[in-house]
């Protein structure tokens, strides 16, 4: 039985302040899982990890010699990610039941508050940025903007840099959606603990569904970009959902680092008895779709 199949009990849905109440059993189970304290990595340990990662990549490369071989390997990795995230088979897709309120108009773009159901009774919360004016009958590209682990009251989707990014995209003619990672911002029905990776990845899949439900969005031009944990979410989503046409992971694409947060490596998506991979190879699964890699040496 998968976590997502029993995440929400439709019979427990309760209207409260415009929202819903989460199944308390799920919260009790997740309270058992916590992050272990992080210890600084020494220079020697870092070099050893990088060397082991290079050897691992070479071993992976020896498993295929042409495009057909890579395609088969990528399919196995995709299955391993979904199985490790307990999303295979995937949950049934419920109606999105979107809520859109509080539209504001600015110079060249608009912003409105959005919530929709990714699972019965569980809502994805975010802000939808649209070009202004929207030309009738025109289809616009769309960009998912998952945020990373930025602390403080202005972290997450409310981080100034995130707001500037989405506003700039909208002014350039892109429909952008900044949404809360589970346990951040307004997404407080489920803590950022335990098997949050499964729910977070499913939320991103359903975010594509939401964007495709908008008549102004071009289904052939859906992209995703994020930094830090949002970078991990970017290449994971691209690997498992072919509807993503363009991906821009900012940092986090490393063969020797899995992420360090439960939302990135808290479930066996990198290794099982049937598959083994790393983040660099997962990011490569974007091919032949275009991908822009952005990184800095200190991350």
Alpha-carbon gap, residue 231 to 204, rounded angstroms: 13
State the pLDDT at residue 166.
98
State the pLDDT at residue 71.
96
Question: Domain for residue 294, yes or no?
Answer: no
User: What's the domain range around 71?
Assistant: 4-284
Question: Domain for residue 290, yes or no?
Answer: no
10-residue averages of pLDDT along the chain (299 residues)? 42 34 30 40 69 90 94 96 97 97 97 98 97 95 95 85 97 98 92 94 98 98 96 97 97 87 94 94 96 82
CB–CB of 176/221 below 8 Å? no
Q: Furthest-apart CA pair in the chain: how many Å?
A: 59
Distance of alpha carbon 130 from the chain centroid: 21
Question: Domain for residue 289, yes or no?
Answer: no
Neighbours of 198 (CB within 10 A): 24
C-alpha triplet 217, 223, 226: angle, nearest 5°: 130
Question: Domain for residue 296, yes or no?
Answer: no
Question: Domain for residue 31, yes or no?
Answer: yes
Question: Domain for residue 291, yes or no?
Answer: no
Question: Domain for residue 67, yes or no?
Answer: yes
State the pLDDT at residue 47.
66
Structure tokens given for 260: 């360090």
Q: Give the CATH number for residue 189.
A: 3.40.50
Question: Domain for residue 21, yes or no?
Answer: yes
Alpha-carbon gap, residue 203 to 189, rounded angstroms: 13
Helices (H) and strands (E) in the chain, counts: 8, 7
Alpha-carbon gap, residue 73 to 92, rounded angstroms: 27
Task: Please tell me the total count of domains within the chain.
Answer: 1
């Amino acid at each position: 039985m998968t976590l997502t199949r029993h995440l929400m009990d439709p019979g427990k849905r309760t209207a409260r302040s415009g929202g819903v109440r989460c199944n308390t059993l799920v919260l009790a189970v997740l309270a058992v899982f916590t992050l272990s304290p992080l210890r600084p990595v020494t220079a020697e340990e870092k070099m050893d990890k990088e060397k082991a990662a290079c050897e691992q990549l070479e071993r992976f490369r020896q498993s295929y010699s042409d495009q057909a071989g890579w395609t088969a390997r990528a399919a196995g990795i995709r299955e391993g990610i979904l199985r490790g995230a307990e999303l295979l088979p995937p949950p049934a897709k419920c109606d999105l039941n979107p809520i859109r309120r509080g539209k504001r108009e600015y110079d060249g773009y608009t912003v409105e508050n959005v919530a929709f159901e990714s699972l019965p009774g569980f809502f994805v919360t975010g802000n939808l940025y649209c070009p202004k004016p929207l030309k009738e009958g025109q289809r616009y590209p769309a960009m998912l903007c998952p945020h990373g682990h930025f602390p403080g009251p202005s972290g997450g989707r409310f981080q100034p840099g995130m707001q500037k990014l989405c506003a700039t995209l909208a002014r350039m003619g892109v429909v952008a959606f900044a949404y809360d990672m589970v346990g951040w911002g307004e997404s407080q029905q489920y803590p950022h603990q335990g098997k949050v990776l499964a729910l977070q990845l499913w939320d991103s899949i359903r975010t594509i569904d939401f964007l495709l439900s908008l008549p102004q969005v071009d289904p052939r031009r859906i992209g995703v970009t994020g930094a830090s944990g949002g970078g991990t979410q970017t290449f994971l989503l691209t690997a498992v959902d072919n509807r993503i046409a363009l991906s821009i992971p900012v940092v986090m694409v490393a063969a020797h680092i899995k992420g360090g947060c439960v939302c990135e490596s808290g479930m066996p998506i990198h290794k099982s008895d049937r598959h083994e991979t790393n983040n660099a190879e997962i990011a490569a699964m974007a091919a032949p779709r275009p991908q822009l890699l952005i990184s800095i040496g200190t991350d």
